[in-house]
Amino acid sequence: MAAGRDSATAKGAPDIRRLLAPRSVAIIGASANPASMGARALSAFRRFHYAGDIHLVNPRTEAIDGIRCVPTVADLPQGVDAAIFAIPQPAVAEALAQGIARGLGGAVIFSAGYAETGPDGRRAQDALAAMARAGGLALAGPNCLGLVNFDAGVPLTSGPVHPIDRRGRPGLAVIAQSGGIMGAIINASEDRDIPLSHAISTGNEAALGVTDYFAALVGDPAIGSFALFAEHIRDPQGFLASARRARDLGKPVILLHSGRSARAQEASLSHTGAVASNFRAMEAAVRAEGVLLVDGMDRLIDVAEMVSKFRSLPKRGLGIITDSGAFKGLALDTADDLALSLPELKPETYDKLRAATFDYVEGSNPLDVTGQAMMNLDRIYGDCGRLMLADGAVDALLVCQMPGKPEVMEAKARAVAQLAEETGAAVGCVFIGSGAPVPPGAQRVLAEASVPLSQSGERAIRAVADVLRLARPMVTGTPVATLTPPPLPGAGTIPEHLSKAWLARAIALPVPLSHLATTPDAAASAAETLGFPVVLKVQHADLAHKSDVGGVLVGLATPKAVREGFTRILRNVEAARPGQPVDGILVEKMGARGPELVIGAKRDADWGPMVMIGMGGVWVELFQDMALIPAGTGPEGFRQALLGLKAAKLLTGYRGDPPVDLDAAAAVAARLGAVMLACPEITEIDLNPVIVRPAGEGVLALDALIVTHSAPQ
């Protein structure tokens, strides 16, 4: 009997296909006890009518459910494709070594007690990973619930899973670092008729992680979308590459990522042994590649249902039909909260809608057809839906209705299903109010027509808003030309005067006229040359926060004031930090003020260089009014980010103030990203504040600081 694929390449790179679609499997720790993981795994293979060979390992019995058992892994046939390890943690290492010796292609390890428990568990997990690498084995887990390939009928799990009939619909692939999350999505998918193709629990990711499975599946033509859960993405650049490929193939990717808070990051360490990453950098990076980042399980599942059921993904806007005037107002509130535009339709479309319903129906979006729609559901829903979609302003439609008797709800569902089938558009059905169960007949009608069903109008509107965001990826614009900057003037923390001078050459950063003085007289002379008033600022690599040591004086208008100010700053520094050396005092011409921005860049260890742009002063300190954008984004991307700030009105003309030069600010941010890409030794650049002048007049960076990897030797 053939055990599996040719294992000639088993000692090279692992063939993940042997794990994802095995033609032969083994259950190590098989048992007749129905409560055991081994028994549950075998039951799953029976439910799926698995077509391949099944081998069982149990030293205490000869056969289970008619399948012969062998006593050890070493007794398995050569070249079994994949095995489930349903055995205690202390026994795993020896069994895995035996499996590798027999040419085992892949292993799913359920056992916990590894990196999530501390250093000893980490060492045990690392040993498994080393064995898998050396043996060319695709290792899933440990501490995982396994994986299910619904398309191939392969349930490498002990969970209570059942086959899914996709009925020709594109599949949704679920990849989760949590077995519980994977199980919850499977349960929701069964309940809501979501066409799953795969469900994968990655666990501790000793070898294979979210990125590996994502890369392996993204090109599968049977898969139409992805729903992912992660606590930490261990190969960020590989993940982004797969996200780009998914975007290019038109496959939506929805990501739920925990760790927005410090406490959540701590919790992930004790769960799967994940290492916390910079959540905001991750958020910026994945959004730039078209990934939709969501903030909860309900939202993940709601969006996943829509992208996997909609016949076409909407790009323009949402239309709403309702039989409740009260819900119309609630829908408008929800859309406003989400910054979701509900497009107005053409006047002639409203005239046609009134003709299709009743003279007293108000022409608007949402369209309230009133309770009188019950008189002719099929015609009113069908005519109104077709008219709204034909208008051109909307290409998604939610029909939001009040529940009622089972036969009434089934009739409403049938009318919505008919509308979806006739138009081929993105149509969803909402029965308002979670308290009223949707009768099975209505659910069946909608499922057969592949129409998403919700019992919350607010959740349905949010989900459509998310789907529209998927179709409208973040504007990145054309990147600026590759830079060839001059050599840096030092290493470690580079003081302001040197940072400014270098940035002025490297990216044409506009900075004030200035002069570094080392004596009071030289400072006064420089001030007279530059023109009054001036600002004095102490300079040294160890004095990045100059104000903290009394190292800044502003508005000095005479030579005498400059001389006295020079001496006062030196006294202040000596008092605050006795013996602190200084490079000198920077004398800088003061100019007209204006709105302040903060523009900075930082190199994230996982996600690469990021550029931050936001409002200065209290806006960034109190309200975190800023955007984080990956380096390499073009000026138009930063311009859109500025317009998305909470305080954007201050930049576009407010209470008589002129609009500011957004283009100049965006250009500086884009060039800052370009210099981070050109100079990998730079870890951080800070421009704070940057004065933004009226449109066409540019910007001025009043302070700058560059930090590199290492200090001078």
CATH code for position 139: 3.40.50.720
**pLDDT (0 to 100) of residue 273:** 44
Query: Could you tell me if 14 and 99 are in contact, meaning their C-beta atoms sit under 8 angstroms apart?
Result: no
**pLDDT (0 to 100) of residue 278:** 86
Max intra-chain CA distance, the chain: 101
Residues 634 and 692 in one domain: yes
Structure tokens at 417: 């299903």
Q: Looking at the domain assignment, is residue 479 inside a domain?
A: no
* Sign of the four-CA dihedral 581, 583, 585, 588: negative
Residues 263 and 325 in one domain: no
Query: Could you tell me if 652 and 686 are in contact, meaning their C-beta atoms sit under 8 angstroms apart?
Result: no
Q: Looking at the domain assignment, is residue 481 inside a domain?
A: no
From the list 607, 677, 602, 599, the residue with the least C-alpha distance to 286 is 607
Residues 651 and 674 in one domain: yes
Q: How does 65-76 read in b/e, with b if 16+ C-beta sit within 10 Å?
A: eeeebbeebeeb
Mean pLDDT to the nearest integer, 514-532: 98
**pLDDT (0 to 100) of residue 1:** 30
**pLDDT over threshold 50, residue 179:** yes
Domain around 519:
513-589
Residues 259 and 247 in one domain: yes
Q: Looking at the domain assignment, is residue 490 inside a domain?
A: no
**pLDDT over threshold 70, residue 571:** yes
Residues 176 and 267 in one domain: yes
C-alpha distances in Å from residue 695, one per residue of 595, 612, 651: 12, 21, 10
CATH code for position 436: 3.40.50.261
pLDDT digits (tens, 9 = 90+) for 127-178: 999 999 999 999 999 999 999 999 999 999 999 999 999 999 999 999 999 9
**pLDDT over threshold 90, residue 625:** no
**pLDDT over threshold 60, residue 711:** no
**pLDDT (0 to 100) of residue 12:** 66
Residues 378 and 326 in one domain: yes
Residues 317 and 458 in one domain: yes
Residues 156 and 169 in one domain: no
Cβ-based neighbour number of residue 245 at 10 Å? 16
**pLDDT (0 to 100) of residue 483:** 92
**pLDDT over threshold 60, residue 264:** no
Q: Looking at the domain assignment, is residue 690 inside a domain?
A: yes
- 534, 558, 589 - which closes a domain: 589
C-alpha distances in Å from residue 261, one per residue of 267, 270, 646: 10, 15, 22
pLDDT classification of 416: cutoffs 50, 70, 90: very high
Residues 607 and 617 in one domain: yes
Domain count, the chain: 5
Residues 204 and 251 in one domain: yes
**pLDDT (0 to 100) of residue 474:** 78
pLDDT classification of 361: cutoffs 50, 70, 90: confident
Query: Could you tell me if 377 and 415 are in contact, meaning their C-beta atoms sit under 8 angstroms apart?
Result: yes
**pLDDT (0 to 100) of residue 593:** 84
Average pLDDT, the chain: 93
Radius of gyration of the chain (CA): 31
pTM, whole model, 2 decimals? 0.91
Cα gap 64→68, rounded to integer Å: 7
With tokens 């369209």, the residue in question is 367
Q: Looking at the domain assignment, is residue 488 inside a domain?
A: no
Local structure of 578: helix, strand or coil: coil
pLDDT digits (tens, 9 = 90+) for 535-564: 999 999 999 999 999 999 999 999 999 999
C-alpha distances in Å from residue 658, one per residue of 89, 643, 646: 68, 15, 18
**pLDDT (0 to 100) of residue 4:** 40
- 283, 309, 335 - which closes a domain: 309
Q: Which residues contact 282 (CB under 8 A, 6 or more apart)?
A: 233, 236, 257, 606, 607
pLDDT classification of 260: cutoffs 50, 70, 90: confident
Residues 137 and 1 in one domain: yes
- 570, 589, 608 - which closes a domain: 589
Q: Looking at the domain assignment, is residue 507 inside a domain?
A: no
**pLDDT (0 to 100) of residue 3:** 40
Q: Looking at the domain assignment, is residue 603 inside a domain?
A: yes
**pLDDT (0 to 100) of residue 435:** 66
Residues 141 and 168 in one domain: no
Long-range pairs for 4-8: beta carbons < 8 A, 24 or more residues apart: 4/53, 4/77, 4/79, 4/80, 4/81, 4/103, 4/105, 5/79, 5/81, 5/105, 6/79, 7/78, 7/79, 7/103, 7/105
Q: Looking at the domain assignment, is residue 20 inside a domain?
A: yes
**pLDDT over threshold 70, residue 508:** yes
pLDDT classification of 620: cutoffs 50, 70, 90: confident
**Residue type present at position 512:** P
Structure tokens at 416: 């919505």
